[in-house]
Amino acid sequence: MGVRTTLLMLLLACLSLAGACASVTHRDVFTIYVASSGDDRRDGLTRGTAILSLNRAHEILMAANPGQDTEIRIAAGTYYDQHVTWTFTMPDNSITFLPLDKDKSRPVFDGCPAPDPEPPQCEGGTWFILTSANGAQTNLHFEDLHIKRYQTAISFDGNRNRPSASNGGNSVQGSYFEDIGNGFNTDLVPSTAAIRFRNSKANVISDNHFANIENIGRGSRLIHALYLAHHSSDNRIVRNRFWNVSGDAIRLRDASDNNEISKNRFSKAGLYGYSDWYCDKEARDDCTKRSPECPSWGNTFKSNVLDGTLQCNPMPEYHFYQDDVAAGCTPPPESAKRLYTEGNTNTSEVCSLR
């Protein structure tokens, strides 16, 4: 049988199967459309019936339960004062939040109700909270978004008291986080993170910008661009840029092990490139976790550029706020190290990166 005859037969077979071949060559994706001119009374399943809020997108997914990869396509524009608590996930499929058109500007989620409100009108809070603690992959992916003027941007919340009750497999990439904390409204209580992880594992945070992640006043050192806490292990933090962070840009806490932090840039950011803290019940009476908190082990901090502390002093690579031993914690293997460092560099002119 000749090549031309074979190709013709394949074409006829595809036509007779009414699109079956298309399903082989094109990924089957369930799509929800969001626009700043959208209306939450719509179904969101076409560009012409776009919805306004991510809360409505969550409702649609809860009802549809599509069982396939999902994209939430967000048109360029500004979305004011949205707060989302997300519980719908699919362990075998992804949910991706991304711009409608890649060649346009990032969609902006602004925690304030209007472009130039009085500070008391900006109520802060958290833009996006994932609540999932069944040990399964949650597979949420955020791409090319701009989040501003919230106390916290994203919180991946597992159960901090049970290591097996985690979530994970999420990613944040190519996004811009700006004015997170209480710096934009000092009437708000201090925040602890731009992105917070509680028992959240195997996530990837890559190629993002974090700018003006700050608390004002006594809580200035409490906030971190990334706060990996309570068994948040096996995460990768790669090629991010941190600028003007009032606390240490990356803080690990309580048995958050085997994370890789590499190829990032830190400028005007806290006191250290990497810091590790846990609430030691032997030394403090204000620890709120039922079980003991423990040191973190086996983390890697390599090939990062350290451009200066918040005060524009030379930035040390790392600091451990407590020692290696805590009561009630399982000792690691004798060969274990809390942190492996390699190839980190300090710029010759402090705070030269912009």
Residues found in the chain = 354
For residues 143 and 187, state if they share a domain.
Answer: yes
Separation of first and last alpha carbons in the chain: 65
For residues 117 and 266, state if they share a domain.
Answer: yes
Residue written as token pair 């986080």? 177
88 touches 135 (CB < 8 A): no
pLDDT at 354: 67
Residue 217 lies in a domain: yes
For residues 32 and 131, state if they share a domain.
Answer: no
**Which H helix or E strand runs over 319?**
strand 318-320
For residues 307 and 182, state if they share a domain.
Answer: yes
Q: Name the β-bridge partners of 195.
A: 154, 226
pLDDT at 334: 87
Residue 203 lies in a domain: yes
For residues 328 and 204, state if they share a domain.
Answer: yes
Q: Give the residue numbers spanning the domain of 55.
A: 27-77+99-104
Please tell me the total count of domains within the chain.
2
Kindly report the pTM of this predicted structure. 0.91
Report the C-alpha gap between 327 and 278 in whole angstroms. 12
Query: Other C-beta atoms within 10 Å of 22: how many?
Result: 11
Residue 91 lies in a domain: no
For residues 118 and 212, state if they share a domain.
Answer: yes
Residue 174 lies in a domain: yes
For residues 115 and 231, state if they share a domain.
Answer: yes
pLDDT at 8: 40
Helix intervals (H) in the chain? 3-16, 20-25, 54-64
For residues 48 and 143, state if they share a domain.
Answer: no
Cα dihedral 236, 262, 272, 241, rounded to 10, equals: -90
Residue 293 lies in a domain: yes
For residues 260 and 114, state if they share a domain.
Answer: yes
What's the CATH code of the domain at 327? 2.160.20
Residue written as token pair 């409505």? 56
In this prediction, the residues of the chain whose per-residue pLDDT falls under 70 are 1-27, 354
Residue 291 lies in a domain: yes
For residues 117 and 49, state if they share a domain.
Answer: no
Residue 14 lies in a domain: no
Please write the tens of the pLDDT for every residue from 204-246: 999 999 999 999 998 999 999 999 999 999 999 999 999 999 9
Residue 87 lies in a domain: no
**Cα angle at 233 between 199 and 86, to 5 degrees?**
35
For residues 255 and 305, state if they share a domain.
Answer: yes
For residues 54 and 165, state if they share a domain.
Answer: no
